[in-house]
Amino acid sequence: MIKPYSPMTFIQTNKPIHNPGHTVQFRVITLDTSFSPVNQLNRIGQWVNTISSGNILQLSHPLNSEAPVGSYTIVVWIDEKKIFHHFEFKI
């Protein structure tokens, strides 16, 4: 049986729990079956026309000090596939 090639995408935040006024730093990386970064120039939805340079995309987003506490999600679209990463916002 031949298994089709399928790259894997990972989202990583700088920490799992954030507080008011903090900045969420995160990176997105897609690896091929040899665990090498894939250079596909993937675009990021919220950051219009942003593409990865050097195969790893690193971004940040400041948290509003008045944002409601709870679970937040970073979503990455690759073609028709969605990848999710959740983090907590606590006081």
Nearest to 72 by CA among 90, 88, 83, 60: 88
- The model's pLDDT over 22-77, given as tens digits with 9 standing for 90+, comes to 888 888 888 888 877 776 654 444 565 666 666 777 888 887 777 788 888 888 87
Supply φ then ψ for residue 30, to 5 degrees: -110, 130
The residue behind tokens 């596909």 is 40
Domains annotated on the chain, with CATH? 8-89 (2.60.40.1930)
Report if pTM > 0.75: no
